[in-house]
Amino acid sequence: MLPSTRLQPALNPDNLTHANWQQPGHDTLPVLSVQQVRSLEHAAFAQTDSFLLMQAAGLRTALKIADQIAHSEPHNLRCVVLAGPGNNGGDACIVAGELKRQGLEVALYQVTEEKTGSKDRMQAVLWALAHGVQPVEIQDSAQLPDINTNTLVVDGLLGIACNRAPEGLIKSLIRHVNDRVKQINSQTRHKQVRVIALDCPSGVNCDTGDAPGEAIYAHTTFSYLACKHGLLTGQGKTLTGDLWIDDLNCGELLDELLTGPLTETLEQTSNKPVFGKSILALSRVDQLQRLPLRGHEHHKGSFGSIAVLGGQQGMVGACVLSARTALQLGCGRVALSLLGETDAHLPDVQQQGQTLFLDLVFPEIMNKGLESNLEFADIATIGPGLGQSEEALQMLLAVLEHDKGLHMVWDADALNLLANNASLRARFKHYRSKHPTRALVLTPHPLEAARLLQSTTEMVQADRHAAAQAISERFNCTVVLKGPGSLICNGKSIEINITGGPALGTAGSGDVLAGAIAALLGQGLNEFDAAAFGVYLHGLAVEPTHGEQHGLLISHASEIAVRMKNSLNSLLNQLARHHSQLP
């Protein structure tokens, strides 16, 4: 007889929440490590039978799948359910039994690898048998399942405990699924085979997002109890596909984990930093709280004066992109200092052979010599189009040796010079100790991050959280580690960005982001909030707006900047309406 407890997991799938929400009203999404999820599981097991949780996960997922099939999938759909040796395989057995009960054609394949499995997993097999599903034991590669058109594959091979490359039959099975799905779907515009992963795609490290070997490419992932770090960043974000979270009615326990005694216990027993209180993926409603309201008393001096430094010969456009973005996102004033510039009078148009520049589209952008610009500005964006010449190095040293402490955003070749030059790093460290209260944001992509850490891109991507933490600590700054699921880290807190898409992968996109962060610093946001909100807006710019189905699939950097401005204005209007409704 099952114990009577206050925690009874509901079997209704309607409270599944989409992790990539965009509408106001959703709560911020806490993102947990595997260790924290285990703690949450143990707390739940103290209040209910563990098989009830497995049953709830499987049933709610199966009901959601059946609902999607009823609305969009072909009537002759065949479900191929793959069950591994662990409890993730138990979830798969429950899904198979319920899909069969819903009247679907179901084939259940399991790989036990001579492991007995837990009591719950064995009970899940009995559940499947009781509902008319006979598991097929895969013992060699000759028994791999047929995957043809109009097939739905449910992946329950490996769960959140996976921290190394899959081996043996499971490796072969993952490769077989990926190859067949790619082969079939490449022959038609419509996906004829879809893959749904249970809790996580098999082969993904749920702490880091790394996939060191074969890993399932899922179209949809149902994550149980809470979202895991690795599903939102790096390879994990790509492999996860459309992400849904089901807390299995354990939301109150999760709150206790994040704020109560469970967190204290975790911090005492862990041998590495625990981010229970600090790794978050913020919803739009919380991002809104970061926005500064503008009053009638404000003027251009209230919103920051930005110096954009860089622009070697042939790369002036990078500085212009950054400066234009800063203006479009609300900074008060912006001036360029381009390599080789003098104090000569500005021409009416750009002059051949000179680095003096007049932007005829944005004539508000000024040109100043470096010394004049450092006196003018309170924020500097350093690196767009800079190059790595001796002249570029001297520009950076001049900034760090200037008496006036500026808020700074370092990007692109400024980061490469910092990584490669010991004297520059020494001046950088001295500057930081002299001006500890000034905002400092570094915005590396994975290769630049590897150079800053004297490491490799592969090592950075294998544990993006650790890499972001290490850069933040080494340079005493807030770091934006760019890539799928960009990370924002200041050494104490980490935030995972949930916006974005492939359209961000275009020349000048990073210059736009650097200008955006500088503009937000100029409007009074602290360095962490400016970095996080800038990254959020940057990603939001390529997502669907009203009337669009898919958002931007292909873009150029100038278009991204314009859409960022439009998104910001929309958010500011929402915030103004909210404040007008307050008593």
Give tens-digit pLDDT for 74-94: 667 899 999 999 999 999 999
Of 457, 471, 464, residue with least CA distance to 428? 471
Whether 277 maps to a domain, the answer reads no
More confidently predicted of 298 and 422: 422
Name the packing angle between helices 509-522 and 557-580 (round to 10°).
30
- Cα torsion at 539, 542, 543, 545 (round to 10°)? 120
Q: Give the C-alpha separation, 524 to 51, whole Å.
A: 51
**Are 226 and 362 part of one and the same domain?**
no
Residue 211 · residue 239 · CB < 8 Å: yes
Number of domain units in the chain: 2
Q: Give the C-alpha separation, 174 to 430, whole Å.
A: 51
Count of CA atoms in the C-beta half-sphere (13 A) of 114: 2
More confidently predicted of 525 and 299: 525
Q: State which amino acid sits at residue 563.
A: R
Whether 15 maps to a domain, the answer reads no
Whether 6 maps to a domain, the answer reads no
Q: State which amino acid sits at residue 439.
A: A
Q: Give the C-alpha separation, 394 to 159, whole Å.
A: 52
Contacts of 360 (CB under 8 A, 6+ apart): 349
- What's the pLDDT score for residue 3? 29
Reported as a pLDDT band with limits 50, 70 and 90, residue 115 is low
Whether 271 maps to a domain, the answer reads no
Whether 175 maps to a domain, the answer reads yes
Q: Give the C-alpha separation, 135 to 77, whole Å.
A: 19
Q: What token pair was written down for 485?
A: 């699921």
342 Cα distance to chain centroid: 42
**Are 330 and 202 part of one and the same domain?**
no
**Per-residue pLDDT tens digits for 291-308:** 766 777 777 877 899 999
Binding residues for AMP: 482-486, 510
List own/partner pairs for 423-432 with CB under 8 A and 24 or more apart. 423/397, 424/393, 424/396, 424/397, 424/400, 427/397, 427/400, 427/401, 428/400, 428/475, 429/476, 430/400, 431/400, 431/405, 432/475, 432/476, 432/477
Residue 173 · residue 36 · CB < 8 Å: no
Over residues 272-291, mean pLDDT: 61
More confidently predicted of 160 and 578: 160
- What's the pLDDT score for residue 97? 98
Q: What token pair was written down for 446?
A: 């994975």
Over residues 199-216, mean pLDDT: 97
- What's the pLDDT score for residue 190? 67
**Are 379 and 527 part of one and the same domain?**
yes
Greatest mean pLDDT among 112-121, 182-191, 410-419 lies in 410-419
Of 483, 499, 509, 522, residue with least CA distance to 284? 499
- What's the pLDDT score for residue 534? 96
Backbone angles phi and psi of 48, in degrees to 5: -155, 160
Whether 153 maps to a domain, the answer reads yes
- What's the pLDDT score for residue 267? 45
- What's the pLDDT score for residue 340? 55
Helix residue ranges, H only, 25-84: 34-45, 50-72
Reported as a pLDDT band with limits 50, 70 and 90, residue 414 is very high
**Are 326 and 217 part of one and the same domain?**
no
Backbone angles phi and psi of 494, in degrees to 5: -130, 135
**Are 453 and 493 part of one and the same domain?**
yes
* Confidence check: pLDDT of 28 > 80: no
**Per-residue pLDDT tens digits for 343-391:** 333 343 344 444 456 677 788 999 999 999 999 999 999 999 999 999 9
* Confidence check: pLDDT of 278 > 70: no
165: number of Cβ within 10 Å: 14
* Confidence check: pLDDT of 144 > 50: yes
Weakest mean pLDDT among 214-228, 281-295, 531-545: 281-295
**Distance from first CA to last CA of the chain, Å, rounded?**
53
* Confidence check: pLDDT of 99 > 90: yes
Residue 222 · residue 470 · CB < 8 Å: no
- What's the pLDDT score for residue 359? 75
| Average pLDDT, rounded, for the chain | 86
Q: Give the C-alpha separation, 453 to 68, whole Å.
A: 46
Over residues 416-422, mean pLDDT: 99
Q: Tally DSSP H helices, then E strands, for the chain.
A: 20, 20
**Are 249 and 306 part of one and the same domain?**
no
- What's the pLDDT score for residue 298? 76
**Are 442 and 389 part of one and the same domain?**
yes
Of 220, 236, 217, residue with least CA distance to 162? 236
- What's the pLDDT score for residue 9? 47
- What's the pLDDT score for residue 276? 42
Residue 200 · residue 220 · CB < 8 Å: no
**Are 169 and 228 part of one and the same domain?**
yes
More confidently predicted of 56 and 342: 56
More confidently predicted of 545 and 539: 539
Reported as a pLDDT band with limits 50, 70 and 90, residue 285 is low
Reported as a pLDDT band with limits 50, 70 and 90, residue 110 is very high
Q: Give the C-alpha separation, 287 to 482, whole Å.
A: 19
Q: Give the C-alpha separation, 140 to 122, whole Å.
A: 22
**Are 256 and 404 part of one and the same domain?**
no
Q: Are strands 220-224 and 440-442 parallel, antiparallel or unpaired?
A: unpaired
Residue 456: DSSP 8-state: -
**Are 237 and 328 part of one and the same domain?**
no
Q: Give the C-alpha separation, 332 to 269, whole Å.
A: 49
Whether 103 maps to a domain, the answer reads yes
Binding residues: 318, 385, 445, 482-486, 510-511
**DSSP letter string, 544-576:** --TT-SS--SS--HHHHHHHHHHHHHHHHHHHH
Residue 158's domain comprises: 35-41+48-266
**Are 310 and 360 part of one and the same domain?**
yes
| Rounded percentage of the chain residues whose pLDDT exceeds 90 | 65
Partner residues linked to 306 by β-bridges: 334, 379
Weakest mean pLDDT among 216-230, 247-261, 318-332: 247-261
**Per-residue pLDDT tens digits for 320-339:** 999 999 999 999 999 999 99
Binding residues for (6S)-NADPHX: 318, 385, 445, 511
Starting at the earlier edge strand, list the strands of the sheet with 193-198.
17-18, 242-246, 220-224, 193-198, 151-156, 78-83, 105-110, 136-137
Q: Give the C-alpha separation, 307 to 300, whole Å.
A: 15
**Per-residue pLDDT tens digits for 460-480:** 999 999 999 999 999 999 999
Q: Give the C-alpha separation, 16 to 325, whole Å.
A: 37
- What's the pLDDT score for residue 296? 75
Q: Is the C-alpha dihedral spanning 278, 284, 286, 290 positive or negative?
A: positive
**Are 236 and 333 part of one and the same domain?**
no
What SS3 state is found at 342?
Answer: coil
CATH code of residue 155: 3.40.50.10260
- What's the pLDDT score for residue 403? 87
Backbone angles phi and psi of 574, in degrees to 5: -60, -45
Whether 279 maps to a domain, the answer reads no
Of 479, 489, 485, residue with least CA distance to 536? 485
- What's the pLDDT score for residue 200? 98
What SS3 state is found at 232?
Answer: coil
What SS3 state is found at 321?
Answer: helix
CATH code of residue 453: 3.40.1190.20
